[in-house]
Each structure stands twice: as structure tokens, then as C-alpha cells.
Structure 1
């Protein structure tokens, strides 16, 4: 029990830093959503239910091309949680409902913090890291929609670049992972740039996901050393 408590508190300490960054990002989401005509309730509910900065910003961007492209973009981005959840699954305990409830704690930062190596995860650290991030994300959204800063203040504080910087940080992190990620990013960017000549931004965003198919390349043809 003491070990579980220490893991949980350790997760909360990690999550506190992530929550602080998420709070600022959520303010930007809330303010941007209001600028695009969302109601305060819609923006807050989106943060409560979706709880994913990348998916929510993709939804905002994708709406420029229509509702279906926006939903498709958000679903494609959040699809990453499927393999992440499958990886964490063996480390969770209890029945199906309890395991499914614990699985709601799977978010990017918490997943990384809870990873012990060898396909093992510390579920208490996972829960501790997420339990402080979710309320911070929702609170930031509330601040953004109810006290949306003026355009001048947004520019002065640099909040207007938080959204693109957020995705840029994700991209840079992925590009460092492998050369294959670089190829996928280049292909996706090229497709999006070409589509922007004929279709709205939301549709181009969905089209850019074809770059991800590079990751489906079979590894059977790779040398044995590369697979080791």
C-alpha cells in the first residue's frame, strides 16, 4: 500500500508540471473556440469529454472545411490512444468496467511517466499524473471562454502562437524518433499544401493523414539487423 501511495504521489508531482502547461493551452483553446462562434457550454463540454488538446484544436481547425472533416481529423488524432491503451491494459487490475475506467487516465504525458520499460506500466503513477491534469485542462478552458482575453493581450502574452507551437513541438518530437517519421511528415505536408489549392483547410488536414500510411510499411523486407 505504501508503494502504491508513493507511486500515486510521484505521478501527481509529474502531472503538476504537465497540468500547468495544459492550463495555459486550454485557455487558448477556450478563447479560440469563442472567437470561432462556439458557445461557452460547447467548449467546456468538449474539454470535459474529449480531454485532448491535439484533437480539440484539430476539431477547431477542421471546422473550416465542414463538420465531417473536423470530426474525422479529431478521431484520427485520438486514434493513437488505441495502441497506447492496449499497451497499458495488462498493467491494469480488476474487472472489465474497472479496467476501462482506469484506462481513461491514458493521456500522452501520463503514459510516458508511467512506463517502466519492457511493456510494463505503473498504474498508480498513471492515475496520479492524470488526476491533476484533467481539472487543470477544464479550468483553463473555463477561463478562456468566460474571460476571453482581448486580441491585443493574446498577442502580447504570445497566446496566439501556443496553438501552432503545440503542434510543432509534437512534430519535432516525432521527427527525432525515426527517419520514417520524417518521410511521413514530409509526405503529409506536401499533400496538405497541394490540397489547399482546391479544398478547404479542414479537408486538407484530413488528406494530410495519408502520410501516416508510411508507417504501415511491412518490416518483413528489412534486414535482420534492423529488426533486432
Structure 2
């Protein structure tokens, strides 16, 4: 498949290029955003509050967890603490991206960090690895991805009575399925495969023991460490 020229080359304007790069993410965000909108509406949140959460929080798994806790009558403090634990993996994203964003101003970094999700991280990591680090395109991709999420949320609010809880349409599988597809494109060597397999296995093990937040963070760190070890071992075996 032919690569879309990056906006920095001048052959493609920023927004059409961003939309072309983002459509695989949008295919996952719209249905899962619909599922969130349906569940949030059934939990008793008003339409404006449901949309405001997608605009101001913009964290799919945390939003779904927060809705479940709200529906169960949990306190505000427990909702904040739980969603914070769920999103601890963003510390790993930040550590991976920080060396690639040197020279960005603080407000640009803040805008980028707000729009960074699991899926956009995978997309940006692949782009940056190819040398495509155009700042305008990077931010435009984040905006386009969030627009898809908000659009899905709005559809879920509007069609809540028709969709039920969304499970009959497999809406709850769209997001992890799409993320796995993005991840598969980055498994280009033994170290990547080792990190992905180890991180996934440890994360699943931690989740089964009830440690989904800190467990995911620890699993990611262990997977990255194993991947680094495999890469160094592979390089050491190559003839000089």
C-alpha cells in the first residue's frame, strides 16, 4: 500500500492527511463511543454531561469505568482514584514520547498529552519511527481521533433506546480489536514480539488478580525490559 506523503513535504495539506491517517482509529472509536453514550445515558447521566466527559476527559476505558462506578453509587473520590489507576499506563506513553518531542513548547506538549490515547500513541510511534514528526499533523491527528470519539458518543446518546447496551452489536470489542491491529503493524523484530507477548501475559495475569491499573503499568515496564534484553542479546550475537 502506498504511503501517504507527510504534510511536511508540502504535497498534502495537514487536515486531509490527518483524516487519512486517522480513519482506522475512527472505525474503532465511533462504535465504542456509541457504547459509552448508551451506557452513560442508562446510568442516569444527562446528555450534556455525557458529551462533556468525552470532550473534557477523553479516556475511553476510564469513562466506561467511571460510568459503571457512578451507576453503582460510588463516591466521587473513589471514581477519580479508580480512573487514575486505570490510566497509569499513560506514564509509559509519556516516557516513550518525551525524547521525540524535544523543542515543543509547554502548551503544545499539553495539547498533545491531552489527545494521546492508546491508539493514537501506536499511530504516532509508527510515524515517528519513519521520521514523520510534523507537529501540525501530529496535533491534527489527535483532534480528528477525538472528534470520532465525540461523534460516537453523540450517536450513542441519540440512539440509546435502539442499541440497548451495545453488546448485541459487539461494540465492546471494537476498541481492543482495532488497537491489536495497530499493534500488529509494529511487531517488526524479536524484541518487539518478546515485549508485546510478555507485557500482554503479565497484564492479563495482573488483571485476573484484580490489579488492572498498577498491574498494567508493571506489566508494560517488564515487557519493555525483556524486549530491551532480547535486542541487546540479538545484537551481541551478530558478527562485528
TM-score by length of 1: 0.70
CA distance in 2, matches of 1:131, 1:51: 11
Checking the alignment, whether the CA contact within 8 Å between 2:28 and 2:178 is kept in structure 1 is no
Name 1:133's counterpart in structure 2. Answer: 145
Unaligned runs of 5+ in 2: 1-6, 185-192, 233-240
Q: What does 1:17-36 align with in structure 2 at a 5 Å threshold?
A: 17-36=24-43
Name 1:60's counterpart in structure 2. Answer: 67
The answer on 1:147 being equivalent to 2:159 is yes
Name 1:101's counterpart in structure 2. Answer: 111
Once the two structures are TM-superposed, the CA of residue 108 in structure 1 deviates from its matched residue by 2.6
Q: 1:83 aligns with which of 81, 92, 95?
A: 92
CA distance in 1, matches of 2:224, 2:59: 31
Checking the alignment, whether the CA contact within 8 Å between 2:37 and 2:160 is kept in structure 1 is yes
Please give the root-mean-square deviation of Cα atoms over the aligned residues, in Å.
3.7
Once the two structures are TM-superposed, the CA of residue 151 in structure 1 deviates from its matched residue by 5.3
CA distance in 2, matches of 1:150, 1:98: 40
Cα–Cα, structure 1 residues 106 and 93, in superposed 2: closer, same or farther, change >3 Å?
Answer: farther
Cα–Cα, structure 1 residues 151 and 215, in superposed 2: closer, same or farther, change >3 Å?
Answer: closer
Checking the alignment, whether the CA contact within 8 Å between 1:44 and 1:138 is kept in structure 2 is yes
CA distance in 2, matches of 1:218, 1:27: 32
Q: Secondary structure at the match of 1:127?
A: helix
Once the two structures are TM-superposed, the CA of residue 71 in structure 1 deviates from its matched residue by 2.3
Cα–Cα, structure 1 residues 164 and 170, in superposed 2: closer, same or farther, change >3 Å?
Answer: same
Q: What does 1:181-196 align with in structure 2 at a 5 Å threshold?
A: 181-189=200-208, 191-192=209-210
